[in-house]
Amino acid sequence: MKSVFLNNKIDCVCVFAHKGDTIEKALRDDGRFSDDFFDKVTVELVDDENVIHAIHLPVDQCDGKKFNVNAEYKKARAPDKNDGESVKHSQQSKHTKQKTLQEEKTNATDPSTEGNATQSTSGNSSGDSGNSFFTDIKKQQENPQVQELLQKEYDKGVVDSFTEVNKVRQVMDLSDSVCVIVVDDSRRGTGFLLFDRFILTNAHVVKDFIYSPPNNPDTLKLSRTLKAVFNYEFLGSKTINLQAKSELIAYRYEKDAALMFHDYALLELETAPDKCTELLTCYKHDSFPNSGGIYIVGHPDCDVKKMDPCFIIGEENQLRSINQHISENVSCPYVSWGCWPNLYKNQITYNSCFFHGSSGSPVFDAHCNLIGMHSGGFDYKQDERTRSVIEFSYSMQSIMESIIAQVRSRSDIMKLLQNEKFYSIKEHFDLGKIEDACEANIPIKEERQNEEENMEEN
């Protein structure tokens, strides 16, 4: 310890840290430990159950625990002719590190950063809307694991695009279209304005409140009153409450033969909300990206609106990510085969802090394109907290293909989708052909499959 008093008189100290920080960063930021402790010594922590915690791991599992420190001096190497330059570089690095620490301490006491001060590892660091969001991005970039991920998985162009302030502002503007789904005054999940007066959410958000009338078994209706609440961004905010019509426009909650799972519900509001972007204008009909940064906007815990920036876990890295989480969290009840078989081709996977209540949140890529709808994860309880092995959304491509196949008999909706602002829909789907097929009662999906088979044969 830097303090002689602490070295001689104190056997135990309490360290606070941001959730997500590494143990090493927490100890360095604490300020009471000597710099030589990290530069010359190999350090690991051992808890009461003799479980070793490496200092490069996150602090998330350390809350409330007491550790003994195992320290071993690093082996000295033989000096070489570049030692003079190395010492000079080390001094510069130390000076830079001290300057960074001083800036962080200054920021921690700056009134403009109030609400983002260090908390116990048992809590989440969260502030108001935009400031909290930018702080979360900064914290993620400073996380050594994230830095390593950025270096290995993504090129500089992708990362730059994801962290541009301009992109963040665009997402914040688009967030006005996100709403809370309320059923009989009970908040159930998240949704967003897809186009005109139609909102999209997950089928599992509303599936307990739907039925088929006996006189019209092909129609699904809501058995309870559903409202979309926009502008719920802080307690006491002036919200906009719009009621949904009882009949569902499109609905699907099932797995298909193509190893895709569908979980969506398209609802029609009595009136369209004012000054909200139709997020279908941000949709580009293309396969979803397998890497890069994404933004999720929704209402986790059905609480105030929040944003979570995170990174896609590509299909080739899913199993590794699942196994890594399980190995680092001894209380995790999942084994790899509990998650792996339940991932589908149309799912985008990532690690997010958005859990219950955020189902139905839009997912944007680094270029602000709407690529998916956040829908779930493999969660479990750890003490009083909810943790998750991996989270996922369903791709908008699979959702839109299924929706258009269902609404092709609605001429009013087809006319809306023919608008030039939904250029990606017009470009990919021949809406005129869809209407013709509807009149002839020809399934569009089968027709498209026949066309693809013919192309392969040719």
Q: In terms of pLDDT, which residue wins out, 400 or 161?
A: 400
Q: Give me the percent of the chain exceeding a pLDDT of 70.
A: 73
Q: In terms of pLDDT, which residue wins out, 114 or 64?
A: 64
Where do the structural domains in the chain lie, given as residue ranges? 4-73, 174-398, 408-457
61: pLDDT confidence band, cut at 50, 70 and 90? confident
Model confidence pLDDT, tens digit, residues 424-440: 898 888 765 544 444 43
CATH, domain range 174-398: 2.40.10.120
Model confidence pLDDT, tens digit, residues 101-126: 444 434 433 333 333 333 333 333 33
Q: In terms of pLDDT, which residue wins out, 333 or 269?
A: 269
Three-class DSSP labels, the chain:
CCCHHHHHHCCCCCCCCCCCCEHHHHHHHHCCCCHHHHHCEEEEEECCCCCEEECCCEHHHCCCCCCEEEEEECCCCCCCCCHHHHHHHHHHHHHHHHHHHHHHHHHHHCHHHCCCCCCCCCCCCCCCHHHHHHHHHHHHHHCHHHHHHHHHHCCHHHHHHHHCHHHHHHHHHHHHHEEEEEECCEEEEEEEEEECCEEEECHHHHHHHEECCCCCCCCCEECCCEEEEECCCCCCCCCEEEEECCECCEEEEEECCCCCEEEEEEEEECCCCCCCCCHHHHECCCCCCCCCEEEEEECHHHCCCEEEEEEEECHHHHHHHHHHHHHHCCCCCCCHHHHHHHCCCCEEEECCCCCCCCCCEEEEECCCCEEEEEEEEEEEEECCEEEEEEEEEEEHHHHHHHHHHHHCCCHHHHHHHCCHHHHHHHHHCCHHHHHHHHHHCCCHHHHHHHHHHHHHHC
Model confidence pLDDT, tens digit, residues 142-201: 555 555 554 445 544 455 556 678 888 899 999 999 999 999 989 999 999 999 999 999
Least confident of 49-63, 177-191, 207-221: 49-63
Residue 250 in this model has a pLDDT that exceeds 90: yes
pTM of model > 0.95: no
